[in-house]
Amino acid sequence: MEKNNNRERLFYLDFVRAIAVILILLTHYNAWFVFGVAEPQLNKCVLFEYPFGIYIGDLGVSLFLIISGAALMYVYNGKLSLISFYKKRFLSIYPMFWMAYLVAVLPKLGLWSAMGLDIPKWRIFVTIAGMDGYLSEYGAGFYILGEWFLGFIVLFYLIFPILRVLIQKYEIITWIAIAVIYCVVIRYYNLEMAMSKCILIRLPELCFGMSLVKHRLKIKWPVAVFATLILIANTIIKPELVSSIRTTYVGIAFFIVLVFVADYVKYKGIQVVCAFLTKYSYSIFLVHHVIFEYIQAAFDANTISVTGSYGLFAVSVLIIIPVAYMLNVASDSVCDKLKKYI
């Protein structure tokens, strides 16, 4: 059986996840000014679009991957019941996703019918599994929300028990294998799927978080300084490397810096905000893109001012938060009932 004892809440896990949530919100809001206009208007992006020399979305996803590995390892570093693990993962993902999808799909049904989209009916099962965003390069589907990251996390949950055993019992050999796989896959990658989605290329981030928690490593200042220098160097030099390589080392370096900083910002107010964003991170993740889409449709990215852009982002977040909260409450209620049957 799994250990069910109460664990000390690690603030740095909440802190990093909160930063990742903010980065993802900025990513999909700012995308309006990058991909939604004929000429990118980066001056209207909120805060930044390419922190440390990489795309903001890549940085946010990298943090989420590292924190996902770390959080699961923190909970399951002891014994693990596969049945209990997969039951909890199912309840943590699918009821909320299905509820959000049903609400979001209603306005789309008439549009799809009018457009006469010729989508194979069997693709609905891909959507139900939350994999349509992840597999978007392999044919049109009924994709609305969840992004490719949802499908990726489903895959990670499926293989986590195996990775956990490998990191716990054969860590050095596992890391050597990860390094070899990483280099070979990047060198010879030729799939239609974007390289950033390939789980073999994201193993260093996932397993870095797992190893960090396994050894309960505390980030010392020399390591934090070195990580900071990596971020500065990548910002200034902008090396001509494959995007996935830069994302890997920048994401890990930024994670290290954030873990170090977390020890110095453990104020009550910050802890409350981070705990809130952590608790509702998944529901925020599910609803934010759809809400941004509807709000931005009422404005013109070409004519909105910089001040107007910041104001619109603030208003959007003020709508996203309560919607995410209500979705979370509804999902919790449904899950409480489902637990009686599964």
Kindly state whether residue 6 falls inside one of the protein's structural domains.
no
Kindly state whether residue 326 falls inside one of the protein's structural domains.
yes
Q: How far apart are CA 202 and CA 5, in angstroms?
A: 31
Six-digit token string for 68? 């996902």
Six-digit token string for 256? 């290290």
Q: Which of 65-79, 119-133, 157-171 has the lowest mean pLDDT?
A: 119-133
Please answer whether residues 249 and 233 qualify as being in contact, where contact means their C-beta atoms are separated by less than 8 angstroms.
no
Span 128-183, pLDDT tens digits: 999 999 998 888 778 888 789 999 999 999 999 999 999 999 999 999 999 999 99
Q: Which helix (H) or strand (E) holds 32?
A: helix 11-34
Kindly state whether residue 78 falls inside one of the protein's structural domains.
yes
What percentage of the chain reaches a pLDDT higher than 70? 96
Which residue segment(s) compose the domain that 318 sits in?
Answer: 11-338
Kindly state whether residue 1 falls inside one of the protein's structural domains.
no
Kindly state whether residue 329 falls inside one of the protein's structural domains.
yes
Kindly state whether residue 19 falls inside one of the protein's structural domains.
yes
Span 181-199, pLDDT tens digits: 999 999 999 999 999 999 9
Kindly state whether residue 3 falls inside one of the protein's structural domains.
no
**Phi-psi map region of 175: left, alpha, beta (phi>0 left; psi -120 to 50 alpha):** alpha
Please answer whether residues 13 and 275 qualify as being in contact, where contact means their C-beta atoms are separated by less than 8 angstroms.
no
Helix and strand totals (H; E) in the chain: 12, 0
What's the number of domains the chain is made of?
Answer: 1
Kindly state whether residue 5 falls inside one of the protein's structural domains.
no
pLDDT for residue 122:
83
